[in-house]
Amino acid sequence: MALPTGRCEMTTVQENVVTDDAQAVPAGVPLARRLRPLIGMTVVAAVALASGMGGGADRYEIFVATHFLAFVIAAAGLNILYGYSGLVSLGHGAFFSVGAYGMGWGLLNTGLPFAVLLVLVLLAAVAIGLVLVLPTLRVQGHFLAMVTVAYASVVHVILVNWDSVTGGPLGLSISPRRLETWVPSEEVLFGFAVVTAAAALLFMSLVRTSSVGRAWRSIRQSEVSAACLAVPVRRYRVLAFVVSAVLAAFGGVIYGLNVGFLTPSEYDVMLSINLLIAVIVGGSGRFLGPVLGSAIVVIGPEFFRFLGDHRELMLGLILIAALSFGRGGIAGLLEDLARPIISRLRGSGRRTAGAGAAHEGEVA
């Protein structure tokens, strides 16, 4: 009621607008349209699954694929934190470790079923995330990166030194017998990883266009203007951090089960850096970002096996190349390539509809 509605006498403004259009435009975006990218992804996943099962993929290929999916889950969370909210974290390896070690320790030392352990591990990630986010709330950018990188190294030190729980430098071996009850084969774990990764990506893409996602994206732009737009900035920063912590821990659970053997050297600062690289190279804030980025970080080195110890170098080169494309990473580059095609298709559609034809011609 308090707004200039159609009955305002705004002649020049109104001339541009057929008021009835306001009713003609559907107010909501149909869920089917929002789910479209997801349907495509599920098909890809199903094909991958089928080829993995039926095509006679060897155990190593399934191992790498599961490793990849564990990274996708964690990177989806980090995409919410960095890609949507603009908060850099070089410490999410800490939550990945919480997931891997929490599940490993739980399987070895308690008789609880897998599902219960999973819930407990994720709740632990929430609790640890809530504690660790508090000191970060006053800092941004580089300072935030420094605080979080400290988390990653502290957790690594704890893993090395807390012998009674983590097994110290030697690590923990999840005994096959205990594991077999819940994860009878690599294929089952792979299937579980596919479903979880799809759910994580679904959540990530649906939340983006919700009021929460818009609030996160406005924080990325400017915390001051977000606050003026009624966004409780600190709460949403906490929320983004905790959500990404939970997804990182989930990725860690799958990663740990996949390897079956937990050594602290795998959960060092480099893990956190790799997770962030996956988001940035893949394309931060984009749907395909975590997928493409994880593929490069996890599967990429497999292709450069012939380089031996120098394959880390290739990752560095890809990182530099992707960063030179700009903030969109590889997903953004693909988008830029696809945009002219899409707009041409849309343009021709509009011309057949007869609307805006003159304007289109003018531009062309």
CB contact at 8 A, 220 and 86: yes
Q: Please, which residue, 164 or 363, has the CB nearer to other proteins?
A: 363
Q: Please, which residue, 184 or 356, has the CB nearer to other proteins?
A: 356
Q: Please, which residue, 32 or 230, has the CB nearer to other proteins?
A: 230
Q: Please, which residue, 47 or 229, has the CB nearer to other proteins?
A: 229
DSSP-derived secondary structure letter, 308:
G
DSSP-derived secondary structure letter, 173:
E
Q: Least CB distance from residue 13 to other proteins, whole Å?
A: 5
Phi and psi dihedrals of 262, rounded to 5?
-105, 115
* Residue 174 identity: I
Q: Least CB distance from residue 235 to other proteins, whole Å?
A: 6
Binding residues for other proteins (CB under 8 A): 1-6, 8-14, 16-17, 19, 21-22, 25, 27-28, 209-212, 214-215, 217-218, 221-222, 224-225, 227-233, 235, 239, 285, 356
Q: Please, which residue, 4 or 54, has the CB nearer to other proteins?
A: 4
Q: Least CB distance from residue 2 to other proteins, whole Å?
A: 4
Q: Please, which residue, 113 or 326, has the CB nearer to other proteins?
A: 326
Q: Least CB distance from residue 193 to other proteins, whole Å?
A: 26
Phi and psi dihedrals of 173, rounded to 5?
-110, 120
* Residue 155 identity: V
Ranges of beta strands (E only) in 156-199 are 172-173
Q: Please, which residue, 169 or 356, has the CB nearer to other proteins?
A: 356
CB contact at 8 A, 193 and 69: yes
Q: Least CB distance from residue 28 to other proteins, whole Å?
A: 5
Q: Please, which residue, 87 or 172, has the CB nearer to other proteins?
A: 87
Helix and strand counts by DSSP (H, E) for the chain:
19, 2
Instruction: Characterize 335-360 residue by residue with b for buried, 16 or more Cβ atoms within 10 angstroms of its Cβ, and e for exposed.
Output: beeeeeeeeeeeeeeeeeeeeeeeee
Distance (Å, whole) CA 300 – CA 297: 6
Q: Least CB distance from residue 208 to other proteins, whole Å?
A: 10
DSSP-derived secondary structure letter, 81:
I
Determine the longest span between alpha carbons in the chain, in angstroms. Answer: 78
Q: Which residue has the tokens 């830029």?
A: 336
Distance (Å, whole) CA 259 – CA 250: 15
* Residue 225 identity: S
Q: Least CB distance from residue 34 to other proteins, whole Å?
A: 12
Q: Least CB distance from residue 209 to other proteins, whole Å?
A: 7
